Structure 1
Amino acid sequence: MAEFPIVSESPLLTFPDAVASPPGSPDEGLPWHYGDPLGEQRAAITSVAVVDRSNRFVIAIPGDERLSWLHTISSQHVQALPDGTSAENLSLDLNGRIEHHFVQTDLDGVTWIDTEHDRGPDLLGFLAKMVFWAKAEPRDGNELAVLTLLGPDAGSAPVLAALGLEALPTEAYAAVALPGGGFVRRMPWPTEHSYDLLVPREKLAETFTALTAAGARAAGIWAFEALRVADARPRVGLDTDDRTIPHEARWIGSPAEAGAVHLDKGCYRGQETVARVHNLGKPPRHLVLLHLDGSADGRPEPGEAITAGGRSVGRLGTVVDHYELGPIALALVKRNIAPDTSLVVGPCAAAIDPDSVPADDTVQAGRLAVDRLRGR
């Protein structure tokens, strides 16, 4: 099992019924649930819930050239990102393998980035080293902390009043400033109604209290993770390994496509691998949703090998219990494994959700050109 550094305990662990995340989990230090984990998930789908994600590492980047500079060293097209909008982005190594996934929001002359807590310091260090002469000043931005509102009632009058807003952003990745500092942005996942709140860290408990008083259900990180897994959204370091490339993790696409890798932009580190796979090849693995046998004695651990007929065919990622689907997981499996293949991981039998298998029948433009040259 992967090991994750312990982060400072959230002040919300002192709230009534808060149960801490399991020791050694990637979200140790956050509330895991508040006594009814499956009910909390249901509220996030049917009404409104608020989740503490304050372990996200936040980076602030002021400077007149922040966007053009980020554009040259990351995978997304962000050179002309309008004020009050966001995008998902990746930092790749020279071989096109994923090192960092982050969400960036540009607002009032500052780009705010939030990423995994255990990878944030490395990302900040990389950005600082890559500035050279650009007018950009990456710094620790952890004066802001992340909460997430989920559910169709997130825009109700009491919740809006608690936030001091007249309305929430209506377009995916749009962001507006909060009166007390920070901002709210709309996300296209893990549900249809998802909003990240980046609030002053010293106001984290105050904001959470105001939202729950306004009718939002207090939900633990378990709820967010279950919905994320059901939506097949990977998490770097948990659902990926040091060989994972963007095509395997479903991160290809512009912001309009809820992707993190734009296929029509200039050079960046790792671009050769992205272009080669897109134009000529297929990724060796793809991300799928697994259904696990709930009657098994125990649950498998992230990072365990997935086998078929005793042969390793993949790697297990996040494992979580969903309020409707039961025990589910994300997994990177070999592309040639048929969806109806009987799988085993740890103590559990497992089955691929066929609806989660990416379409793989498109012939790439580069492959068509090669075939024409060869007279095929």
Structure 2
Amino acid sequence: MTDERNRRWTLALGVDEDEAGLSDRDQRLSSALTALYGEGEDAKKGKGGLGGSAPRVAKWLGDIREFFPSPVVQVIQKDAFERKGLRQMLLQPEFLATVEADVNLVADLVSLRSVMPEKTKETARQVIGKVVAALMERLERKTADAIRGALDRSRRTNRPRFADIDWPRTIRANLQHYQAEHKTVVPERLIGFMRQQRRIVDLDEVVLCVDQSGSMASSVVYASIFAAVMASLPVVATKLVCFDTAIVDLTEELADPVEVLFGVQLGGGTDINAAVAYCEQRIERPSKAHLVLISDMYEGGDAEELVGRVQRLLLLGVNVIVLLALTDTGRPSYDPHLSARVAAMGVPVFACTPDQFPDLMATALRREDIHAWAADADIKLVRGED
């Protein structure tokens, strides 16, 4: 108790972390507070302060969201606008010119939206638009190709797209064209898979149900972008539902991913059961539906009812997938007990990267074994409870 009291006083008084015996995490916490509230010698020595660097501000915003609950973060952000001139920095063209296409920065700007004046919001839209454009360029083509063309492996073609070439059959069919001097086969005839032609009345439904609590910020950004891409494709009917303890259906906004992100409210509690119940109501054809729940599974609502609801969806024929995170790096923090209970019903539960997501959706649309796909991709799945 004494050690904890000393730790709290050390963090409150802001003494020199290097001499205070603080852990690495507490030193980061102290630095985050000193950057905003540091005065006197620390400020003179340059230890605190946000400065005018966009990367430094992005890191600081990420730190305070990690260390403090949402109501406290709101207070700190308001203080930052008043004390450190972040409003002025966001309005500077120089800031826009130097900002990197970073998904975490988008999440930070979205979380700041509620404390921004209207003029600053417009500048933030420009920043978010720039980042979204870069991410769309990276992800759009692969997503469109993968989802537009869940492959029909029962039919073959001699004029396949490069991505659809059946290389084992093509090589066997062209062995007579082996070039010994080059040690390779020169194929004169390509063999590949034909793509399915889907009727509008037979479209698959994809419902992305996204946890917008603070810990899921990066996943929300990526999910919103993927939803916007899929909504632009005529081969699937896409819906986007974001939730904390409230539920926001952003399906009608999917034509504009920036507008989608401005409809997200990062932070707050988590009621997964209520969100899945809403999505259940939005599903029109269960046998053609895919529910992708993106959540760390820390349920603040009724966990027992959630498990029963997922079981009912499976019995109706809905293809349920749980993504614990949709991020570029890092191991997600998640509720292992609830995740294992859901996995025990046969639901694939795992984290994946944005680059893996298009292939995941193509596998889901073909109703192939996602457990096998994940194993082939070296993705660790949550094991079900015995």
Shorter-chain TM-score bucket reads under 0.3
Find the structure with the greater CA-based Rg.
2
More strand by share: 1
**Whose helix proportion is higher, 1 or 2?**
2
Q: TM-score, normalised by structure 1?
A: 0.23
Of structures 1 and 2, the one with the larger relative CO (CA 8 A, separation 6+) is 1
